[in-house]
Amino acid sequence: MMKTVDISVTNLCNIKCPQCKRTDPNGLGTHKLLPLDTWSLEQFQTAFPINDLDDMEEYSFCGLWGDPLMAKDIKKIIYYIIDNSIKSKVTITTNGSIRSEKFYEEIGNYCDKRLAIVFDIDGINEEMHTKYRRGASLKKSLDNMYALSKTNAIPLSQTIIFKHNQDYQKDILDLVKKWGSHNHEFCLSDRFDGKSKWHFVNEKGEDEYLEAATDTTVQIAVDKYPKNKENG
C-alpha cells in the first residue's frame, strides 16, 4: 500500500495571496497563463478507480494551485473515498474562508476521524491575517474550524511566518487552540529567493511589500495539545 498521494483538484481560489504561484507577480490578479479548471467526481473516479482506492492510506488535497474547497464536487469526491475504501483517510488544506459552517459540520460528521482539515491562520486579527491572505476572513476561518471541531473529524492549523507576524506566534497558538485546532504548525515562506522583500501591486494599484521573517529560529515549530472545544 502506498502511503499518501497529493492531489490538486482545482486551480480556482477565493483569495489572492501575493506569493502564490497562481497569482500574477505584477499584482493580485490570476496569472494570465493559468487555465482555470476543476475536477468533477467523474474525472476523479477515472483517475482513482473504486477498486484501487485502498491502495492509498491518505488522499491529501493540498491546494498547490487553488483551494480544494473551491471544487464544485469536493464533497462528492470526499464521500466517494470514504464510502468505497476501508481505512483511507482524507486531508484537506484550505484558507477556511470558503463554504458554510454547516458544510464543515456535515463532512465532519460523515467522515468522522478519517477526515482532517488544515486551516491557514496567519494572524491574530483581520489586518494581520489578510496582509498575506488577501480577500480572506479570519473570523470565517475560525468559525469554520470551530464548526469542524464539534465533530469527530480533526481540525488542524498552520501559519506562514513573515516579519509582520513573527512576534505573535504565542498569540496565534492561543487563538487556534481556543477555536478548536488539535495541532498547529509554523513555517517560514520559501519564496523570497534570498531577498528580504517581495514586491507586489495591491488592490489600489499601489506598490506594497511583504517582508521576510528576520527571526530565522522560527523555521518549524509544532505544538501538540489536547482537543479544546471551548471558544469562549
pLDDT digits (tens, 9 = 90+) for 61-92: 987 789 999 999 999 999 999 999 999 999 99
Tell me the pTM. 0.90
Query: Of 70, 68, 69, 65, nearest to 33 (Cα)?
Result: 65
Query: Of 165, 167, 115, nearest to 138 (Cα)?
Result: 165
Dihedral sign for Cα atoms in the order 80, 146, 130, 163: negative
Task: Band the pLDDT of 220: cuts 50, 70, 90.
Answer: very low
Task: Band the pLDDT of 161: cuts 50, 70, 90.
Answer: very high
Mean pLDDT of the chain: 89
Task: Band the pLDDT of 225: cuts 50, 70, 90.
Answer: low
CATH number of 2-224: 3.20.20.70
Domain boundaries of the chain, sorted by first residue:
2-224
| 2-7 and 183-188 beta bridge pairing | unpaired
Per-residue pLDDT at 14 = 93
Q: What is the pLDDT of residues 83-134, one digit of tens each?
A: 999 999 999 999 999 999 999 999 999 999 999 999 999 999 999 999 999 9
| 197-201 and 207-211 beta bridge pairing | antiparallel
